[in-house]
Chain A
Amino acid sequence: MDLNLTAEEKQFRDELRSWLEANVPKDWSEWREKPIEESFTYLRAWQRKLYEGGWAAVSWPKEYGGRGASLMQQSIFWEEMARVEAPPMANSLGLGLIGPTIIAYGTDAQKKRYIPKILSAEEIWCQGFSEPNAGSDLASLQTEARLDGDDYVVNGQKVWTSYGWVGDWCELVVRTDANVPKHKGLTVLLIDMKSPGVEVRPLRQMTGESEFGEIFFRDVRVSKENVLGSVNDGWNVAVSTLMYERGSYGARLHLIFRRNIGRLIELAHTLQRNGRAAAQDPLIRQKLAQCYAEIEIMRLNQMRAFSRITATGVPGPEGSIQKIFWSELNQRVQQVAQELMGPYGQLQAGDPLALDKGIWAYGYLRTRGNTIEAGTSEVQRNIIGHFVLGLPRSY
């Protein structure tokens, strides 16, 4: 066990640090609170810059434009990005989930066609997985693709699609064989969102915004060359994407959480409670300390998981611990924020008296989705029960 950086890790960090110092935009704080629709061009330009510097996808193999960074170097990457308060990248699903899946399952032609434009943010990707009747039970999805000559003809509906409104391409899971057990008749298609018959509708969520969309497919033709992996092997391809989702997200989230707790502690020194600073109130102190500690444990769990993956070579179902941990913790942190701010906590963006431009009212509502998206807490606990602890399958 040695948590000091190795010489190689230090070199990686220093190189990145000096690149960021020279290149990170200084005006992100003016854009941060704006709706993503407005800042998207800005985020695209930032990703383009990272791409040109060779920093857009450090985890990818060198031959595909990455740096072959170890998991530890990836955490260093996100730490450094957070340290300089760098903006996020526009094509986050393409870089984090879909690109790695194409690298793992794609043909040479597919890699050549899609990978560079994922890196440069020239083509934004979205994910067509969930359906109105297929959420936790993803394998029961019904969107069908029927072979007609050299094309598949796709009909159906997807829901909860992040970046649907701006997506150029979609990693779409469809049913290609309805006569076999549900996991065995699925295929992944790479589909051009501008194809005739594709319609995207915004889905208004409880926060009032439309981060997600619904996608409707009516007789959409997709060349069979756009199958990712093998026909009817789509379940394995999709699960591989979900593993990336559960594994990598935590590293970045920790940094957001740390910024949140730092801000709450700052606020606790200025907000009053019972005639003194809230930071002096014993109960508030207890609650903030609990949040601080759990955020730190989230980081430690992540680092231990990374070390285990580095040692064994396989990302395992322990990603499910992280998913449960961060999502439930985020809800607790937001509740503590509400308690700290009292009646002010409810004020939304636009209200002149709202603290921090209403981000805490938004955060309180938004985090309800955390224990649902990317696999509900219930499904994650099933995964731990069955795949980690070896208990019999419950469903």
Chain B
Amino acid sequence: MQFGLSESQEILKDSARKFFAGECPMEEVRRLMETDTAFDEGLWAKLAGQGYTGIIFPEEYGGVGLGKVELILLMEEAGRALLPGPFFSTVALAGSVIDAVSSDEHKKKFLAPVCAGDARSTLAVLEASASWDLADVKLTAANGKLSGDKLFVTDAAVANFIVVVARNGVFVVEAKAAGMRITPMSGMDLTRKLYAVHFENTPAEKIDETAALSKAFDIATTALVAEMVGGMQRTLDTTVEYAKMRKQFGKPIGMFQAVQHHCADMYLETESSRSSAYYAAWALEENAPDAGTAVSIAKMYASDAARTVGNRGIQVHGGMGFTWENDVHLYHRRAKASETAFGDATFHRERIARLVIDTGMVSAKHA
């Protein structure tokens, strides 16, 4: 039993960190967040060049064929860099859904261009109810056409195709399809843009029933948690650095226990989120019987932790933390968006309750 990273996993994580530091420093993040889409063609080509857009997809579609653990290590580093644009939407959302549910033919058509870096995509789930429970999806395809609205769709404006969850299946809608209208929603996270997508008799290609979605959602959720862990780590690092440098009363503020204890709690929350994310990824990879519970535990914990780590980070930075110029708020904005994506802590506690309290799984699990 070994709950550490293997040598090749360490190498992947390390090289991802260096790649993002070099190709997407904070100046670039700030430049992109001021654009309409937060998307940059050049950066996308470089991500694809690294094999990142195909990291978990089978080699026969041009992917790299690595596992869920490798995916989350990459997402963690992307989160640390606050990578703007549709990487998460394309790979962790749309890509993992297509990979999980669709046929060989559809994978060739939709997954191969993602691996090659030729296509971006996203996933449309939420509607006016803003419910992550798939039973609340109302949009229904009729005669191969969709009519209705999806909300909170990330990166829709730069997607070459959108994977749409409807009541009667999972569909793909190509960009510029007839009757589709994409309008920006002004979300708090400036680096990942949100859109409302309206369909009016829009042609849609069915790729599967919705039954297989839950595994894909679990992969996406775990990837999101890993990204949150990266954000927490960066917030912790910059906060500790600031506490060592900033002086008041003739001493670094990090010498005061009230400040130190904020930092210690940020560390505890970050490490605990990381443990739960890594375990969830491993459990998904191994199809462990408690994989679903593990994913919900991770998202539950990290949803609260990412927010409180941000709160503490801003507090320790004092007045500086409240300025636009300081980067901590950019992470704090992302954390709030991620907190509700794929269900907040309350949503996942209820899922844990269904999996554990209603089934009496507690004692059986480790036997």
- Residues of chain A touching chain B, judged by Cβ–Cβ distance below 8 Å, are 1-6, 9, 72, 79, 83, 258, 261-262, 265-266, 268, 279, 282, 285-286, 288-290, 292-294, 296-297, 300-301, 303-304, 306-308, 310-311, 318, 321, 324-325, 378, 380-382, 384-386, 388-395
Residues A9 and B1 in contact, CB atoms below 8 Å apart? yes
The verdict on A297 contacting B357 (CB below 8 Å), with A1-B9, A290-B349, A325-B272 known, is no
Given the known inter-chain contacts A258-B362, A262-B363, please indicate yes or no for A72 contacting B1, CB distance below 8 A. Answer: yes
Is B212 part of the contact surface with A, judged by Cβ < 8 Å? Answer: no
With the chains together, A301 CA to B270 CA distance in Å? 11
A381 to B272 CA separation, bound complex (whole angstroms): 15
Please indicate which of the listed interface residues B3, B243, B349 has the most CB atoms of chain A within 10 Å of its own CB. B3
Q: Does chain A have a CB within 8 A of B204?
A: no
Which B residues, 211 to 242, have Cβ-Cβ distances below 8 Å to chain A? 240
Contact between chains at A381 and B357 (CB < 8 Å): no
Report the separation of the CA atoms of residues A308 and B10 in the bound assembly, to the nearest whole angstrom: 13
Interface pairs (19), CB distance under 8 Å: A261-B362, A285-B350, A286-B353, A292-B357, A296-B294, A297-B276, A303-B275, A304-B275, A311-B4, A321-B271, A325-B268, A378-B261, A381-B257, A381-B261, A381-B265, A385-B263, A391-B240, A391-B254, A395-B257
Complex: A304 Cα to B272 Cα, angstroms: 10
**B3–A381 contact, CB under 8 A?**
no
Given A1-B4, A391-B255, also A296-B244 (CB < 8 A):
no
Q: Taking beta carbons and an 8 Å cutoff, which residues of B are in contact with A?
A: 1-6, 9, 69, 240, 243-244, 251-252, 254-257, 259-261, 263-265, 267-268, 271-272, 274-276, 278-279, 282, 286, 293-294, 296-297, 300-301, 346, 349-350, 352-353, 356-358, 360, 362-363, 366-367
Cβ-defined contact, A382 with B4, below 8 A: no
Q: Let me know if A297 and B69 touch, CB within 8 A.
A: no
Given contacts A258-B363, A289-B357, A391-B259, 17 further A-B contacts (CB under 8 A): A72-B1, A79-B366, A261-B362, A289-B350, A294-B301, A296-B276, A297-B276, A310-B4, A311-B4, A324-B268, A378-B257, A382-B257, A382-B261, A384-B260, A384-B264, A385-B260, A385-B264
Residues of chain A with a CB closer than 8 A to B257's CB: 378, 381-382, 385, 394-395
Are A382's CB and B268's CB within 8 A? no
Q: How far is the CA of A391 from the CA of B262 in the complex (A)?
A: 12
Q: Do A389 and B349 touch across chains, with their CB atoms under 8 A apart?
A: no
Complex Cα–Cα for A303 and B362 (A)? 19
Residues B301 and A293 in contact, CB atoms below 8 Å apart: yes
> Are A289 and B349 in touch, CB under 8 angstroms?
yes
Cβ–Cβ contact A289 & B3, under 8 A: no
A1-B282, A301-B275, A391-B263 known; A285+B5 contact, CB < 8 A: no
State how many angstroms separate the Cβ of A30 from the closest Cβ of chain B: 21
User: Bound complex: CA of A391 vs CA of B363, how far in Å?
Assistant: 42
Please report the C-alpha to C-alpha distance between residue A282 and residue B4 in the assembled complex, in whole angstroms.
Answer: 37
- The answer to whether A292 touches B254, judged by C-beta atoms less than 8 angstroms apart, is no
Contact A293 B353 (CB under 8 A): no
Contact indicator B261/A385 (Cβ below 8 Å):
yes
Bound CA–CA A300/B293 (angstroms) = 14
- Contacts A292-B356, A301-B271, A389-B267 given: A285-B349 contact, CB under 8 Å? yes
What residues of chain A lie closer than 8 Å to B366, measured between beta carbons? 79, 83, 258
Q: Kindly report which residue of chain A lies nearest to residue B273, judged by CB atoms.
A: A297
Could you say which residues of chain B place their CB within 8 Å of the CB of A2?
A: 1-2
B357 shortest CB reach to chain A, Å:
5
By a CB distance below 8 angstroms, the chain B residues around A324 are 264, 268
Once A262-B363, A297-B297 are accepted as A-B contacts, the answer to whether A303 and B357 lie under 8 Å apart by CB is: no
Residues of chain A within 8 A (CB-CB) of B265 are 381
The reply to whether A391 and B260 form a contact with Cβ atoms under 8 Å apart is yes
Contact across chains for B367 and A83 when beta carbons are under 8 A apart: yes
Check if B349 sits within 8 Å of A4, measured CB to CB: no
Instruction: State A6–B276 Cα separation when bound (angstroms).
Output: 22
Report Cα–Cα, A268/B356, bound state, in Å: 12
In the complex, how many angstroms separate the beta carbon of A290 from the nearest chain B beta carbon? 6
A303 touches B256 (CB 8 A): no
Bound Cα distance from A69 to B356, whole angstroms: 32
**Chain B residue nearest to A322 in the complex (CB):** B268
B244 to chain A, nearest CB (A): 6
Supposing A285-B353, A289-B356 touch, asked if A386 and B297 sit within 8 A by C-beta, the answer is no
Q: Nearest 10 CB-CB pairs, A to B?
A: A385-B260, A384-B264, A391-B254, A381-B264, A289-B349, A300-B275, A289-B352, A285-B353, A307-B4, A262-B362
Chain A residue at minimum C-beta to C-beta distance from B266 = A389
Minimum CB–CB distance for A14 against chain B, Å: 14
CA–CA, A289 to B349, complex, Å? 5
- Whether B346 lies near A392 (C-beta < 8 A) is no
